[in-house]
Structure 1
Amino acid sequence: MLVQQQKLILSPYMEIYNIVVPKDNLLRQINELVDFSFIYDELKDKYCHDNGRNAVCPVRLFKYLLLKAIFDISDVDVVERSKYDMSFKYFLDMAPEEDVIDPSLLTKFRRMRLKDVNLLDMLIDKTVSIALKNNIIKSKSIIVDATHTRARYNQKSPREILQERSKKLRKSIYKIDESMKEKFPAKNKEDDLKKEIEYCTNLLSVVKKHENLIHHPKVSENLNYLEETLQDDIEHLAIAEENDAKIGHKTADTSFFGFKTHLAMTEERIVVAATITSGEKNDGKELKSLYEKSKKSGLEIDTIIGDSAYSEKGNIQLAEENDLKLVSKLNPSVTQGFRRKENEFQFNKDAGMYICKAGHMAIRKARQGKKNVSKNQVDTYYFDVEKCKICPFKDGCYKEGSKTKTYSVSIKSDIHKAQIEFQNSEYFKEKSKERYKIEAKNSELKHRHGYDIASSSGLFGMNLQAAAALFTVNIKRIIKLIGEK
């Protein structure tokens, strides 16, 4: 049963807070700045109001989640600290002598009470309304960018998984018969998944010839584990979902397994919109959503600032339709007109390569044709045909028996002339200098609020983590700007 938390706490020890929690304490400042009753109003329908034991107020549980984001600590640690840290107790609206909750309640709160609640947009909109009320946001520009967060689980590559499992098998055998070292095939030392699969297959073949070994439980267990991994589609493992996480690429040579947070931020460094996607998604495709969310929060926008990932044709059209200036440098590979299978192949601006529907990146590209002739130049991207042969999406994409798999895009020499002209203007050059601010915000999220690794699995968990972290960084920024007035 839900009973609204009383604002007046009847305790003879409340004056302690005025002594031990100074006015410039961050948690005191947040409590004084934000009326958290909107959390109660949003979640009250998730509780029973006339039956059962009294529930812990959702506002207090939500504040626990904020403390986790502010101090980057676990459920157990945040509850433990609230036993003795008076600033925590003050922030949580607890009496000094009051008992703390059981940490398991936070897990239940996230799973049961926050399900189907768009907490991310709600919290960002709340901070934006506070910023507007305090006349903090004066610019009419939004800066857009995406930051990656690694998945909490399954961060190893398929080759690393095979290496680990074959190593366990060998070690279990050496404990029984060290002479087997001489009979095993030479280890693969190249960063090549195909060769690793070949090595593991040969290793299993050798082990299975020695029945005296495979009857040992530990050997049998490790052998079955490795064989099961090989029997599974190893290429599927490379792009397998970890409850929505996917492989994304930071450059042509580096990748991550996890999620992307797409952000829109004002020049005052207040985040005004965000969307969460799996890691392989294209940054530019999220611009429309970020713009619409920013407008909905009450902002006036005349300029969008971003890197070359946002200069694709659809975004330039969006800017023209809404009388916006798009400060995003053109990249010939992302500003194409009509492209064959446009939804199946997306350009990754960090790597400078296209990625197919299965998540595989092109291994090289070549430009064909000459400039300034009647026929357009073409960029042709080449994919690893060995991956295409076993790809679950090969039907209609890869022709059986083909020795190559390519994807070509035509570079229009006469397209986007207005954007090219705008790109050379002083306004474009000056506004481009503002883009570093969002990179600094991404760094703050990762290094101060644990945003480099997901705190739980799945898009739902990532949305909750983003909501708490972005609410925190916005409120901290608002408090700083109010103090500078």
Structure 2
Amino acid sequence: MNLLRETVEDDLDRLQSMNDRDARVGHKTADSSFFGYKTHLAMSEERIITAAVVSTGEKSDGNYLQTLIEKSKEAGMAVETVIGDATYSGKDNIAYTTKEEIELIAKLNPAVSQGTRAKEDEFSFNKDAGLYVSKAGHLAIRKAKQGKKHQSQNQAMTYDFDIEKCQRYPFQEGCYKAGAKSKTYSETIKSAEHTAQMAFQETESFKTRARERYKIEAKNSELKHRHGYETASSSGLLSMELQGAMAIFTVNIKRIIKLMEE
């Protein structure tokens, strides 16, 4: 079984050099992966999709919060509250929503807080696996917390990557040094910067609104299972964007008609 698993993982890596050169390997959990794209969605309380961004499969959802909010505003939405999972609770997103006077209903996760990090465009956090992903789509194989609490220096979370994959990495410059025997990536955990958010997430208002997050998952399920959005109909990021535009337009029209009937 281990040999089969390793063979499948190697095949997924090599798929990147096949016909669909835009697609990348993404991860739903630490043990499962997919080859393709992601669609990041924003949705109103009436369950109408107000914004969408299609990205390659390895990208983190949290990177697109600000874009989704701005797109929703451009579409005429007045954004007062945003509900999402822990991947949206990064430091930059907290700062942005605070500045825009938007309530951010997203629980803090020390691994997502993104205190002090280098190469922020090269490594992204996968909230399902709880690990970082490199630019090539390689998922870290383990993580460990460094340092002690209540000391002068902040604790850090260190992520280790598979050195054999790094040696085949097509984007080694600035990331992996040839001949190195290990590849790690660290982030400093600064929970003190999130004191206000930590207090907010303990309130009844936060907990009540957080229960509404299931609505976006239901919309994702509708797109995938009723409108064929689970599988790309063609190759390339542009083709995926076109497929997404058609599927999202369809589910929005259906929802608008339903609301008019009510």
Question: What TM-score results when the alignment is normalised by the length of structure 2?
Answer: 0.93
Q: Whole-Å Cα distance in 2 between the matches of residues 353 and 440 of structure 1?
A: 25
Q: Is this contact kept in 2: 1:283–1:310, CA < 8 A? A: yes
Cα distance per residue 1:206-250 (max 9 Å; x no partner): xxxxxxxxxxxxxxxxxxxxxxxxxxxx89624437142111111
Residue 220 of structure 2, aligned match among 429, 442, 456? 442
Q: Is this contact kept in 2: 1:247–1:257, CA < 8 A? A: yes
Residue identity in the other structure for 2:17: A
Structure richer in strand, relative to its length: 2
Change beyond 3 A, Cα 1:468–1:397:
closer
Q: Whole-Å Cα distance in 1 between the matches of residues 17 and 201 of structure 2?
A: 40
Q: Give the equivalent residue in structure 1 for 2:232.
A: 454
Cα distance per residue 1:112-137 (max 9 Å; x no partner): xxxxxxxxxxxxxxxxxxxxxxxxxx
Q: How many residues are matched?
A: 260
Residue identity in the other structure for 1:394: Q
Bigger Rg over Cα: 1
Change beyond 3 A, Cα 1:189–1:256:
closer
Aligned 1:63-462 pairs, distance under 5 A: 189-193=3-7, 237-240=14-17, 242-462=20-240
Cα distance per residue 1:48-83 (max 9 Å; x no partner): xxxxxxxxxxxxxxxxxxxxxxxxxxxxxxxxxxxx
Q: Is this contact kept in 1: 2:116–2:189, CA < 8 A? A: no
Q: Is this contact kept in 1: 2:62–2:90, CA < 8 A? A: yes
Question: What TM-score results when the alignment is normalised by the length of structure 1?
Answer: 0.51
- CA drift of 1:357 comes to 1.7
Residue 110 of structure 2 aligns to a residue whose secondary structure is coil
- CA drift of 1:442 comes to 0.6
Change beyond 3 A, Cα 1:189–1:383:
closer
Residue 417 of structure 1 aligns to a residue whose secondary structure is helix
Residue identity in the other structure for 2:14: L
Residue identity in the other structure for 1:299: M
Q: Is this contact kept in 2: 1:243–1:459, CA < 8 A? A: no
Q: Is this contact kept in 2: 1:239–1:358, CA < 8 A? A: no
Change beyond 3 A, Cα 1:470–1:367:
same
Change beyond 3 A, Cα 1:190–1:261:
closer
Q: Is this contact kept in 2: 1:333–1:411, CA < 8 A? A: yes
Question: How much is the aligned-residue C-alpha RMSD, in angstroms?
Answer: 2.1
Change beyond 3 A, Cα 1:478–1:255:
same
- CA drift of 1:328 comes to 0.6
Give unpaired runs (5+ residues) of structure 2.
none
Residue 457 of structure 1 aligns to a residue whose secondary structure is coil
- CA drift of 1:280 comes to 1.1
Q: Is this contact kept in 2: 1:264–1:273, CA < 8 A? A: yes
Percent identity of the aligned residues?
59
Q: Whole-Å Cα distance in 2 between the matches of residues 417 and 388 of structure 1?
A: 37
Q: Is this contact kept in 2: 1:240–1:246, CA < 8 A? A: no
Residue 78 of structure 2 aligns to a residue whose secondary structure is coil
